[in-house]
Structure 1
């Protein structure tokens, strides 16, 4: 039940998925909120610190998730899914992963544009790169925002797909990412 099998995701994959989802949504909301903070706000320095630390935690979680995905059996598509649905699902998942990695890399470039590292939960510092790109903060900031909004669009498509499978197709797609399923359901 902890590991995936050919029919179902295990608890580890399920936990990584939902923890990632919560962090993605939370970081997006935090990012939207903090861009409007002014210098006199009590949260002016605290919110970016948490955003950076949680973003780096999400990077680690995403790398762990990709490793787990690579090492584990992937549940087979349900028999009722068309080849087109399966391809669209794979494409949406791939784009979500790519956007997440792009957001995290651009966030790192924004945060280290002044040559200083990032204090991660005040436990250690992730150093800046030894070189800088001209207008690094602005360029990375534009990319970060565009990729974040694009990710929210893809998350919306992902959610709509899950709801379609649950309420229109009435299949077990959503149930497979909520809890491991023991019975054979192909």
Structure 2
């Protein structure tokens, strides 16, 4: 199966869910054009309160559609954009990627994975118990966060629903993703 973009979303306001679009423009060092989380410095309100001058490592949020299938088996019906992601993927195991992995989205845009999305309580606003359903426990007892990954934009460009996702480069040493 070819890794594919099956949904694109953005929202100019700081709302939890984002509006679907057939295409978005990624801007190098900024993020998704027209999205409230675009910027060189952190744009997530919680992170801004802690330190508004930190670099924005959460310019683009990606979630794998396979999570939606898993959630459906637990009785939750979630579709692209509802969990606040900008890019919904299919056919790529986002959670197993290394920090620093670069993916090409479509013909031009390149993003670099920075870490795991740390899910927040607002997820339960969609359905009671949904946040817990996006978490799991590893055999060692550590928390597994399944709510996607965050990235920065390395090379800008237009991205469309249906575009392929290609591995651009891997870091020399695999660095497991941590929540950011």
Higher strand share: 2
TM-score of the superposition, structure 2-length normalised? Answer: 0.29
TM-score of the superposition, structure 1-length normalised? Answer: 0.28
Bigger CA radius of gyration: 1
Higher helix share: 1
